[in-house]
Structure 1
Amino acid sequence: MIAKLTGIVETVAADSVVLDVGGVGYLLTCSGRTLARLVRGERAALVVETFIRDDRIVLYGFAGAGERDWFRLLTTIQGVGSRSALAILSVLDADQLSHAIAAQDKTALSRADGVGPKLAARIINELKDKVGSLAPAAGVPAPAGARAPAAPGEGGAVADALSALVNLGYGRSEAYAAVVAAARTAGEGAAVGDLIRLSLKELSQ
């Protein structure tokens, strides 16, 4: 099983890269976000996920372990294949994906090619309890059961503040991240007005 490859970038295509490792060229399928970091002729190190199919071995390359772990998690969901998972990781980095799921932001997930509202809703429903705080280290999902101060569908001050910010025109994911940061600053039992004020301050930074 190949876990990591380090070599010289030989060619970069629309969805893959050929990495020359000691004279052997490895073809790795990657997200657009990872491919954007690669420069032909330069040295690169990619974390690898190996899929063994009936007729071939497919290698997927990732800029870091966080992206790989999200790929693994996404592909456990019915209807999310490797192509869809890479499409999601092309438009959302690990932290943004964590934010989108925690905020139940179907619009953000639907920006990925091949991901419609129904599939986005399924991803959120199946992963919302596996996403912990909004700032996981290196983008790696936190252990199941770890949660932010409040989820947006549960009512209360956090949900009200989130609704207010969305109505002001902020994206749901960025608004939720700001509200959660504000809730941590203000402490338990903070009023809606205080959360909105602190959230706007957070968003202005």
Structure 2
Amino acid sequence: MISSVRGTVLSAVGGNIVIEVGGIGYAIQVTPEHALALRVGDSAFVHTAFIVREDAMSLFGFETREQLAVFELLTGVTGVGPKSALGVLSVLGPGQIATAVAAEDDAAFRKVSGIGPKTAKLIVVSLAGKLIAHAEPAARPAVTPAGDQVVVALVGLGWSEKIAASAVEGVIAANPDAAAFPVQTLLRLALAQLGPAQHSAVAAGAES
């Protein structure tokens, strides 16, 4: 099995490249974006999947092991051949694929040429739980210095640091001007986010 190729780029056109290794040119199918990043005459290294079929033997190349791993998972889905799998990776990165599967968003796969509604749904079902390592972490709003003080204050009132930080992040995410808010304002909004009932219970506990 050919798992990787390193050599000189002889050509890079569309989604096809040729890399020369020891006088032998290996034709490799890649995403158009990958091909555009390569220059004839430069040295290149690609991770590869060697696909053997009755009528052909083909090499598919990838810039990262992560892309290769997702490609192999995609080709394990009924109805998804290597070219279709490469087509998915031409449109979506590994993180986007993992996020779409986790959200059961088959619409993301229907955007890929050659992937119909039935196959798109099958991809989501078949890959569920298999792409956690590739999922893109959700962006978290930056907590301001005043926000840090509010987290400390909430912890002092009895909330866990995780819950306190989540409440402050929620306030900051909902208010574009939160960076300019004083500590008192942020604290009031965070307490409102946590809920008046919880606030009363904690306050009562602090007074007793």
TM, length-normalised to structure 2: 0.65
Give the Å deviation of 1:105.
2.2
More relative contact order, 1 or 2 (CA 8 Å, 6+ apart): 1
Give the Å deviation of 1:69.
0.6
Give the Å deviation of 1:101.
1.4
Percent identity between matched residues is 32
1:66, 1:33 → 2: CA distance?
A: 16
Give the Å deviation of 1:90.
0.2
Give the equivalent residue in structure 1 for 2:87.
Answer: 87
Q: Write the mapping of 1:92-171 to structure 2, written as runs, cut at 5 A.
A: 92-132=92-132, 135=135
1:200, 1:34 → 2: CA distance?
A: 40
CA separation of 1:80 and 1:56: change in aligned 2, threshold 3 A: closer
Give the Å deviation of 1:61.
0.9
CA separation of 1:27 and 1:197: change in aligned 2, threshold 3 A: same
Alignment pair present for 1:60 and 2:60: yes
Give the Å deviation of 1:51.
1.2
Q: Deviations for 1:104-147, whole angstroms, at most 9, x for unmatched residues?
A: 222222221111232211111111221215647xxxxxxxxxxx
Q: What is the aligned length?
A: 157
SS in 2 for 1:59: strand
SS in 2 for 1:20: strand
1:200, 1:88 → 2: CA distance?
A: 37
| 1:33–1:91 Cα contact (<8 Å) kept | no
Larger Rg, first or second structure (1 or 2): 2
CA separation of 1:54 and 1:188: change in aligned 2, threshold 3 A: farther
2:121, 2:175 → 1: CA distance?
A: 28
RMSD of aligned C-alpha atoms? Answer: 2.9
Give the equivalent residue in structure 1 for 2:10.
Answer: 10
Give the Å deviation of 1:43.
1.0
Alignment pair present for 1:198 and 2:166: no
Give the equivalent residue in structure 2 for 1:29.
Answer: 29
